[in-house]
A and B are shown apart, each in its own frame.
Chain A
Amino acid sequence: MINAFLVFNGQGQPRLTKFYTQLDTSIQQRLISEIFTLVANRPKGSCNFLPLPPLLAASSTSSTSSEPHNDVPSLVTYRNYATLYFIIISTSTESPLALIDLIQVYVESLDRLFENVCELDLIFNFETLHATLGEMIVGGVVIETNMERIVQGVRAQGTVAKRPVNESRGGGGGGGGLGSGLGAGLGMGGNFVWSGR
């Protein structure tokens, strides 16, 4: 199952945290920062899987010495879009490649909802982020991978707010740049599971 879904930006500031098991806030933060240091130091062109962060590695080695244990989070998958990192921590029962595409679906759904999504959208509408995630994953189990249905489900919960009133796309700060950057990041394409679609 999926243990946690995290989004943070290039500075390591969390934009979305969802833990499917209970965890202290302080430990959550430690985990995020550990993963961030791992992610930030990745060379270009390396794979989308991280070695276990120390916090997880310590606990998993202590309990997996004898037999492989399927309950222990053992896989950290990440994907980078423009300024944002999307992280999934999962157990070995999930397929690594499929998780990469799950992130892809999530980002694409957000893109659909926000029309050219950017980091600012995520900050101001993080409730929508949660709603979208809630349409895809419940309790750590993936329930939907079809983008249409996800978007539909989120829209059914109410209108997705456009950017706040003081928005100044392109003008104010890096907003526009982020937007286009994230959009361009989507060009990476869903290359694994849904390539047929």
Chain B
Amino acid sequence: MDVKATALLKIIYLEMNGHDMSWASFHVLEVMSSPKYHQKRVGYLGAVQSFKTDTEVLMLATNLLKKDLSASSPIVISLPIAALPHIITPSLALSVLADLLPRLSHSHAAIRKKTIVTLYRLALVYPETLRAAWPKIKERLMDKNEDPSVTAAIVNVVCELGWRRPQDFLPLAPRLFELLVDGGNNWMAIKLIKLFATLTPLEPRLVRKLLPPLTDLIRTTPATSLLYECINGIIQGGILGDSEDDGREEIATLCVSKLRGMITFNGDANLKYVALLAFNRIVVTHPYLVAQQEDVIMECIDSEDITIRIKALDLVQGMVSSDNLVSIVSRLMRQLKTSTNSNNEQPDDLSTDSEEMGAERRSRRKDEGPPLPEDYTIDVIGRILKMCSQNNYSSVVDFDWYIDVLTQLIRIAPASRKEVDADGTTLGAKSTIADISESIGNELRNVAVKVKAVRVAAVRAAELIIAKLTMESTSHQVTSGSLKPVAWIAGEYAHQLSNPSDTLNHLLQLIPRIRPPEILATCLQASMKLFALIAGNDQTYWTAERKSMVSLLMARVIHTYEPLITHPSLEVQERAVEFTELLKLTAEAASAQAPSTDELEQDPPLLLTQAIPSLFQGWELNSVAVGAQLNVPMPEGLDLDEPIHPNLGSLLAQADSLMLPVQEDDEFAAYYNEKAAPTSISSEPAINRIRDAPETVTNSYQQATEDSYLDADIIARRKAERAERNRDDPFYIGDLSSPSRSQGTSTPIHNILQNENGPDLDIDSIPIMKLDLGGIGVASSSSGQSHQQYKAPKARPQIVVAADETLVGSSRPSTPRTGSQHDSDAAADPSSASASAKSRAAKKLKQSLLQVDSSHLRNLSLEASESGDAGGALPHEKLAETDEEMAKAMKEVQRLRLEMQRANERIQVAQGVPSEGVVVKSKKKKKKDGEEKEGGKKKKKVKAVEGEEGKGEEEKKVKKKKKKVEGETAEEGEEGVVAEGGPVGGEAEAEVMAVKKKKKKEGEEGKVKKKKPKRIIQLDDGGEAGGEGGVEAGEP
């Protein structure tokens, strides 16, 4: 046996290192049953580490556990007690409960406290435990001579139970308060404060009582954790709540100042972290208090500790407003920028890149931050987007700035991880990456759609991004998810592009390199729209030049589309086929149409000028609210289950056999394909296009720190815009020469450089740009400022952000300007309570790892046992208890009423019983309300009301319910009883019973809505049984 025990010990050690030992469970049991303590101990250790609830030998262990629980030696007893929490199952709990309970009064304090905790774990799987154990635990808690460590253990348990069912622990408040004031044990005090924090919402009077000791503790305690928990308790307990009270204002400022102290206090990272946690809780209710601490919080964002950063980010997201948005976002952007730079410099990235890229990187090495993990970067980008788009962009004042930020973000997002994409091994990471760059693109699209004023700028940005993507990824596949929305913008607002044909060029170059089918489909559509715009101009005449130009273009487009005709994705395939065929037709038409000569003017083919553009012109698209689609009324007579065609199967079979000649030989296409000359794809540098940019409506912000996070060319663009604006401003006629001159001179140099080095090396152009900026800078930095000053008194042009559209008169909330899009995303639609209930049920199924399922516990009522031992309670506690009982009774009445109302409604629906029930209902309600207002809130009275006045109605209702039940489930044998209506005298009592049962079930009902009808049946049964003789009174 000794050998066996040693072997087992070694197996346990191996198990810790990841080797399964479930095969040894029987041996574990053998060692457990050894009479020698040190062997037994090994056995129990094995059981704790390896037994699962489904371990078969657990059944065999039950007797052993029972035996050991009643052993004489305390150290032997503590073995099963400590092991039970790990292996407990409901049936095991039931059988050991009887042996465990007496251990609560064991002479050893150590046994007592362990027993208490074990009982708590028992209760989690087998709630009935509490009914038996709670009186005894309470007795222990009330006993002032109890060993302090046992009391502490009880407090721990009560705290754990507390947040699950706080209402049951209100009666304990006086004793707990006593313990808090003169406990002296910091750990216990922390737990008590946590417990009180959950109790105060239920009992507002506690607040006044708690405040003095808490403030006292905050001021005096030497233990930081206790201090923190005091503050935390105050926050969580909602004591900060209403600030009209002077004392509370004082305590709020005290808390905040202490927290601030914790952040700044000689750089202790832990304190920083917890302080941020606390701020995170405050910010929900008191954003202004937190906003005052912006400076220290912003410092935390730059902390090198990721945990602290994330918490600070959470916080920042909560406190963002239009005033601080720009500064917060710029800070984050700077962080991202520096980190991507340094990420790029990691040597392992160099493998896939050319030599000059490496050189560029070396040049970039200046102010690099610590490299950030990828998921953090994604997180930050996501948060920036979220912050900005909050409340339908209510915080964003300057949309030009936002567009610039988005452009920059798109560059940052894929830049750091194209390498990861290329090898395609990290599939999971890839999807999130694609997601984030796509959501950046989506933001850009949202702005373009919603904010008409900056649409031009957004379209320009999209143009730039497409151009950049084309150049960047000449060799490998394009994976940036941003391409999809960006291409959409370019297509939809093609008329606002500065250079549509260039953009079309870029898109056509990109299309063969796109892998994801959704992006491909969008790009196809977009390029077609662009083509329609370029070719479909019916103002100009059909000259020979134009004819050849259009024909060439068409050939190119067809050439690009043709390979996609056999694309595996149906969407792509369909679009490609449609467009190719259409273009081939058009090409024929175009070649048939002779060019206009001097004597004869020819119109361009109608197909080109009318048909194709009309495909894409129509209503302007607006953003639609989330869920608006669901509000579209269902057309009459629509049956989705009905097959579209009665003979669908044979049709499909036919289609299979019929081969459509897709690849018909088009001589024109072939002709043009061969000749498809590479049109000039030299890309213009950004600044060139900007030069002839029309005036944008919005003001630009002069942001001193912009250069630190925006790429050089974006800044250059902004500066150029600014200069442009100034030039047109009559106020600055004197300065006219300098910006125009500098532009005129610098651009060619820039051009040359870019043409030589490849346009994506924007970094190389920095020195040149600097020179350029210098020119403007001198001139416009002063002028810019005065410009601002001049403009300041003027009202900022009102930028209209279009609200999401939704159907009028719908039950669903639309998202107006104030409503946040994300909120409406997140918030479960209130109309479909059943859906949320379902999701909750699903949630329950999908439980977290390591999570303890305590849901059973919530459904248990301690009521019976509590009222049983109320005699031992302290006098003022009794008072509280009656109060609480009162409140409970009131609640029950209300619940009952609700329940009945629901039942009533159902009856109406089912049987068409009209107003009768409602009238009764409202009458009763009024009476109830009257009762409440009177203030004569004695439980008995309420009961009496229930009994006397409710009786008549009650009977009716029960009857009705019965009928309903009958109709629904055809429950048999009930009618007889119902017909009699139940003995009148017992009705009230039955009611109370039903209430109790209902209360138990209430929680479950909320969760599993589906089961509701069944439950009501049960309730009714219970009520009846009670009416007949209270048989089920004690039934669990």
A134 at the interface (CB under 8 A from B): yes
Known: A45-B269, A195-B223. A141 touches B117 (CB 8 A): yes
Complex interface: chain B residues within 8 A of A66 (CB): 828
Structural contact, A49 and B273, CB atoms closer than 8 A:
yes
Complex interface: chain B residues within 8 A of A40 (CB): none
Structural contact, A29 and B225, CB atoms closer than 8 A:
no
Shortest distance from the beta carbon of B32 to any chain A beta carbon, whole Å: 14
Q: Given the complex of chains A and B, what is the CA–CA distance between A167 and B149 in angstroms?
A: 37
A139 at the interface (CB under 8 A from B): yes
8 Å CB interface, A1-20 against B: 1, 3-4, 13-17, 19-20
Closest residue on chain A to residue B153 by CB atoms: A143
Closest residue on chain B to residue A59 by CB atoms: B848
A165 at the interface (CB under 8 A from B): no
Q: Given the complex of chains A and B, what is the CA–CA distance between A4 and B48 in angstroms?
A: 13
Q: Given the complex of chains A and B, what is the CA–CA distance between A126 and B10 in angstroms?
A: 10
Complex interface: chain B residues within 8 A of A98 (CB): 186-187, 190, 225, 229
Shortest distance from the beta carbon of A15 to any chain B beta carbon, whole Å: 8
Complex interface: chain B residues within 8 A of A72 (CB): 848, 851
Interface residues on B, range: 35 or more
Partner of A141 from B160, B305, B851 at Cβ < 8 Å: B160
Known: A145-B187, A192-B225. A46 touches B305 (CB 8 A): yes
Shortest distance from the beta carbon of A142 to any chain B beta carbon, whole Å: 6
Partner of A47 from B118, B272, B826, B846 at Cβ < 8 Å: B272
Structural contact, B307 and A21, CB atoms closer than 8 A:
no
Structural contact, B267 and A45, CB atoms closer than 8 A:
yes
The count of chain A contact residues (Cβ–Cβ below 8 Å) is: 74
B319 at the interface (CB under 8 A from A): no
Structural contact, B85 and A139, CB atoms closer than 8 A:
yes
Structural contact, A1 and B852, CB atoms closer than 8 A:
yes
Q: Given the complex of chains A and B, what is the CA–CA distance between A27 and B152 in angstroms?
A: 33
Structural contact, A127 and B157, CB atoms closer than 8 A:
no
Structural contact, A193 and B305, CB atoms closer than 8 A:
no
Partner of B187 from A28, A138, A142, A195 at Cβ < 8 Å: A142
Complex interface: chain A residues within 8 A of B251 (CB): none
B120 at the interface (CB under 8 A from A): yes
Structural contact, B20 and A55, CB atoms closer than 8 A:
no
Structural contact, B853 and A71, CB atoms closer than 8 A:
yes
Q: Given the complex of chains A and B, what is the CA–CA distance between A141 and B305 in angstroms?
A: 30
Partner of B848 from A47, A60, A93, A145 at Cβ < 8 Å: A60
B9 at the interface (CB under 8 A from A): yes
Closest residue on chain A to residue B854 by CB atoms: A71
Shortest distance from the beta carbon of B308 to any chain A beta carbon, whole Å: 6
Q: Given the complex of chains A and B, what is the CA–CA distance between A21 and B229 in angstroms?
A: 26
Closest residue on chain B to residue A28 by CB atoms: B18
Closest residue on chain B to residue A50 by CB atoms: B307
B794 at the interface (CB under 8 A from A): no
Complex interface: chain A residues within 8 A of B224 (CB): 97, 191-192, 195
Interface string of B815-852 (1 = CB under 8 A from A): 00000000000101000000000000001001111111
Complex interface: chain A residues within 8 A of B152 (CB): 143-145
Structural contact, B118 and A95, CB atoms closer than 8 A:
no
Complex interface: chain A residues within 8 A of B228 (CB): 95, 97
A107 at the interface (CB under 8 A from B): no
B306 at the interface (CB under 8 A from A): yes
Partner of A138 from B117, B164, B306, B307 at Cβ < 8 Å: B117
Interface string of B220-242 (1 = CB under 8 A from A): 00111110110010000000000
B710 at the interface (CB under 8 A from A): no
A187 at the interface (CB under 8 A from B): no
A177 at the interface (CB under 8 A from B): no
A63 at the interface (CB under 8 A from B): yes
Structural contact, B82 and A25, CB atoms closer than 8 A:
no
Structural contact, A49 and B848, CB atoms closer than 8 A:
no
Structural contact, B75 and A156, CB atoms closer than 8 A:
yes
Structural contact, A100 and B38, CB atoms closer than 8 A:
no
Shortest distance from the beta carbon of B986 to any chain A beta carbon, whole Å: 41
Q: Given the complex of chains A and B, what is the CA–CA distance between A47 and B276 in angstroms?
A: 12
Shortest distance from the beta carbon of B428 to any chain A beta carbon, whole Å: 10
Residue with the highest number of chain B CB atoms closer than 10 Å, among A100, A138, A141, A158:
A138
Shortest distance from the beta carbon of A53 to any chain B beta carbon, whole Å: 10
Complex interface: chain B residues within 8 A of A59 (CB): 846-849, 851
Structural contact, B850 and A143, CB atoms closer than 8 A:
no
Complex interface: chain A residues within 8 A of B274 (CB): 96-97
A166 at the interface (CB under 8 A from B): no
A172 at the interface (CB under 8 A from B): no
Complex interface: chain A residues within 8 A of B185 (CB): 145
10 closest A-B pairs by CB: A139-B85, A97-B225, A47-B269, A46-B305, A59-B848, A192-B225, A3-B850, A139-B121, A29-B18, A47-B273
* Given A20-B86, A96-B273, A144-B149, 17 new contacts (CB under 8 A): A16-B16, A17-B16, A21-B850, A21-B852, A25-B18, A43-B370, A62-B846, A63-B846, A63-B847, A71-B851, A71-B853, A72-B851, A96-B270, A100-B270, A138-B81, A139-B117, A141-B117
A–B complex contacts, Cβ < 8 Å, 12 sampled? A21-B851, A22-B52, A45-B305, A46-B306, A56-B849, A60-B848, A72-B848, A139-B120, A141-B156, A143-B149, A145-B187, A193-B223
Interface of B with A (CB < 8 Å)?
9, 13, 15-21, 37-38, 41-42, 45, 48-49, 52-53, 74-75, 78, 81-82, 84-86, 110, 113-114, 117-118, 120-121, 149, 152-153, 156-157, 159-160, 163-164, 185-187, 190, 194, 222-226, 228-229, 232, 267, 269-270, 272-274, 277, 304-308, 310, 370, 826, 828, 843, 846-854
